[in-house]
Structure 1
Amino acid sequence: MEKQSISIKKVTILAGAFCAYMIGSGFSTGQEVLQFFSVYGVAKGIISTLVYAAITIWLIYTLYGTGQKMQFSNPYDVFEYYCGKYIGKFYTWYSVVLLYGIYVVMLAGAGATINQYFGIPAYIGGYGVAILALLTALLGVEKLINIIGVIGPIKIVFMIVVGVSAFITMASQPNLLSENSALIQTVGFQQASGNWLWSGILYAFLGLVFGNAFFVMNGQTAKNLREARLGGVIGAIALAGAVILLIIAENVYLDVIEGQQVPTLAIANHISPALGLIFALIIVLCIYSAVSSILQVVTRNFAVDKTKKFNILATVLTVVGMFGGMVLPFDKMVNLLYVIAAYSGIVLTGFMIYKEFINKNAFPFRKSNDENKDVDVAV
């Protein structure tokens, strides 16, 4: 078999697109990492992250590969491919509703962030991000991935800056990390789960349901399986590294983040007011890239991108989201959606394992763009 060639540029873009999609408002503000990992202390948080990374790497490797090999006309077809017609349709609609709900609350988060730091009315900030996201989604999936694929590494670089600053602080205060690691569990931060290991597992399955269709769509743009899988795996490893750096930073700067809604912004301001300004902009950039991706993925369930139907639906969904995002409670809705998504992801993974390892011929998929021919491609 001839060895598949890869493009380093394309692999980097695929990895960056994964990071850009996953680092939305929850991650970029530091709240996700705080509640899922940091609150349990450094040692438990890092071990939990490694468990999360192991699960995520397999999921991404599989889904990027499935997307590249199957070339679904609709990325949501991946649910029918793994779960069969009826359960697949349920997951499709469940995923659409879930993603759109997250899209709406992310717009609310964008407005709140812009208002908090820049003093601009929340509705103007939310509307601005919504319109930019719409314009990006209308460019089509290839352009979208190229754009957010550049944004992803920028986010990772900032996490590295925060992590390096934490290490410098630790050098002058050797006992700070261990002391704060024990103290952080008593401060009263919200926890995603009562068990640190289960928290990491839930975070992996949350990512699965949140990004399933996008991962498939992302993999489709690669020219071969090797390129798709490599881009996905590198992205997953980079994200796990960013999580670990943020766990260390949030423990080191415990006194800085205590009582703060946006821990990363508080840390950035503590390091340097100029860095705080830059990170406020990065948070908005994080939300913009995630919102653009979600809008593209949700609309793709109803229409092919860059068509008149797609453009109309994307515009309508944007307008509804703009107004909905100004009235819905950001934090409560996100928490509710994330918990439900994580548990539903466990069930979905069971179907994936069954098809990948037990019965590759289960749920034969009928491709709508191939003269309704039954196909079952092993990934």
Structure 2
Amino acid sequence: MEKESINLKKVVLLAGALAAYWIGSGFSTGQEVLQFFTTSGTKGILAALIFLVVMSYLSYTLYGVGQKEKFENPYDVFEYYCGKVLGQVYIWYSVALVYAIFVVMLAGAGATINQYYGIPTYIGTGVIAILALGTTLLGVEKLIDIIGVIGPVKILFVAIVGIAGIITIFGQPNLLSEASKLMPTLGFKSASSNWAWSGALYAFLALMVSIPFQVDCGKSAGNVKEARTAGLVGTFAFTIAIILLVIAELVYYKLIVGKQVPTLEIANHISPILGLIFSILIVVSIYSAVASFLLMTVRKFAPDRTKKFNIIATVLTAIGMFFGGVLPFDKLVNILYPIAGYSAIVFTCFMIFKELRCRSSVNDDQKNSELKV
């Protein structure tokens, strides 16, 4: 039987960790939301609701299985759902993907710091990489504690930008419909030509890059109910952040044309002080996500805080610093993220099949025990 007690502080921490994990450079700079949601105009808000429905089930399941199975290595979840052979394929694909997105996030860090502070891109990339490495070396439990606090702060500042957009709409009620009509003509890259599919695809993207992390978070919870609640709360909070950012990007669409970091342009327009705070927040967002992705990559090869772990983490950071400093950020997001989303669809089918089979087995056991009685 599951325990009914829930530690509210732990739920917030684990939900915040999930939000912080997802709010990396792609999200905090506005590029992800722009390409997956805002380019669809006001239908992007409906796409966010599709994301909420799909991702709520997936997070609820992964947090729960992480607590129930308590995998020694979080990548074991792939073999749990897909079997030994296909599970190994997914393990190595996931490791490669998470590391590739780690490099993408470093590129986003360089672009952000360069745009706001005028510091050379490679220096910004290097600073974030070194900070992320230092956090990674502390281990997974300490990382969850750190980024679990950062997550709610990120959402709060995204909310400020969104609320400013909503206030602007009250004065110019036709602004959203005007922006929706013009979006396809402004030259923005789009993840998909169909708004509903974009929402679902983003959910599968979020799934594919966070499977081992969600399993680790679930394992850290006190019980299954606490784990599942944290997964749902984290997904809901992240969806609210998506919707608020869509509104802001639509309202301020003229400002963000041709910009690598749309959120920074919007925040600067609202207030130079907010722009300064937001630039720091984006850097913190990127740092926390980069540290998470690096740790999840290294966890495949060695346990936390071992000599082997430290050496691999340092080598992978150095490689990421080099490539993150020279690759174009927006093109990487447009190519890499949709591919990750498509690959997650097959894994979701395996998840659903396994969960249904487990429930069927539990029901059969209950019937057999009742017959014996």
**Which category of TM-score, normalised to the shorter sequence, fits these structures?**
over 0.9
1:255-287 residue CA offsets vs partner (Å, 9 max, x unmatched): 222222211111101101111111111111111
What residue in structure 1 maps to residue 270 of structure 2? 271
Cα distance in 2, alignment partners of residues 231 and 359 from structure 1: 22
Cα distance in 2, alignment partners of residues 12 and 122 from structure 1: 34
- The alignment's C-alpha RMSD in Å is 1.5
What residue in structure 2 maps to residue 258 of structure 1? 257
Stretch of structure 1 that moved more, 316-325 or 13-22: 316-325
Superposition TM-score, scaled by structure 2 size? 0.94
Conserved 8 A contact 2:2-2:225: no
Q: Secondary structure at the match of 1:139?
A: coil
Conserved 8 A contact 1:81-1:88: yes
* 1:131-210 equivalent positions in 2, closer than 5 A: 131-210=130-209
What residue in structure 1 maps to residue 291 of structure 2? 292
Q: Secondary structure at the match of 1:115?
A: helix
1:293-340 residue CA offsets vs partner (Å, 9 max, x unmatched): 011111000111112211121111112211222233333333222121
Q: Does residue 1:21 correspond to 2:21, yes or no?
A: yes
What residue in structure 2 maps to residue 373 of structure 1? none
Which structure: greater helix fraction? 2
Percent identity of paired positions between Structure 1 and Structure 2: 63
What residue in structure 2 maps to residue 376 of structure 1? none
Conserved 8 A contact 2:28-2:285: yes
Conserved 8 A contact 1:355-1:361: no
Cα distance in 1, alignment partners of residues 320 and 91 from structure 2: 20
* 1:44-123 equivalent positions in 2, closer than 5 A: 44-123=43-122
Conserved 8 A contact 2:111-2:329: no
* 1:277-316 equivalent positions in 2, closer than 5 A: 277-316=276-315
Q: Does residue 1:12 correspond to 2:12, yes or no?
A: yes
1:60-83 residue CA offsets vs partner (Å, 9 max, x unmatched): 000011111111111000000000
Q: Which residue identity lines up with residue 38 of structure 2 in the other structure?
A: S
1:98 is displaced (CA, Å) by 0.8
What residue in structure 2 maps to residue 369 of structure 1? none
Change in 2 beyond 3 A, CA 1:361/1:213: farther
Q: Which residue identity lines up with residue 319 of structure 1 in the other structure?
A: A
What residue in structure 1 maps to residue 369 of structure 2? none
Q: Secondary structure at the match of 2:356?
A: helix
Q: Mind listing any 5+ residue stretches in structure 2 that lack a counterpart?
A: 362-373
What residue in structure 1 maps to residue 216 of structure 2? 217
1:130-162 residue CA offsets vs partner (Å, 9 max, x unmatched): 111111111111110010011111110011101
Conserved 8 A contact 2:129-2:290: yes
Cα distance in 2, alignment partners of residues 175 and 112 from structure 1: 33
1:57 is displaced (CA, Å) by 0.3
Q: Does residue 1:239 correspond to 2:238, yes or no?
A: yes
Q: Does residue 1:33 correspond to 2:64, yes or no?
A: no
Cα distance in 1, alignment partners of residues 258 and 126 from structure 2: 28
Cα distance in 2, alignment partners of residues 15 and 343 from structure 1: 25
Q: Which residue identity lines up with residue 115 of structure 2 in the other structure?
A: Q
Give the number of equivalent residue pairs.
Answer: 361
Cα distance in 1, alignment partners of residues 306 and 185 from structure 2: 54
Cα distance in 1, alignment partners of residues 358 and 68 from structure 2: 18
Conserved 8 A contact 2:41-2:180: yes
Cα distance in 1, alignment partners of residues 327 and 73 from structure 2: 30
Cα distance in 2, alignment partners of residues 183 and 323 from structure 1: 38
Q: Which residue identity lines up with residue 146 of structure 1 in the other structure?
A: D
1:5 is displaced (CA, Å) by 1.3
Cα distance in 1, alignment partners of residues 118 and 3 from structure 2: 55
Q: Which residue identity lines up with residue 62 of structure 1 in the other structure?
A: T
1:327-368 residue CA offsets vs partner (Å, 9 max, x unmatched): 333333332221211110001001001101146699xxxxxx
1:223-271 residue CA offsets vs partner (Å, 9 max, x unmatched): 1111111111001001111111111111111122222221111110110
Cα distance in 2, alignment partners of residues 216 and 179 from structure 1: 43
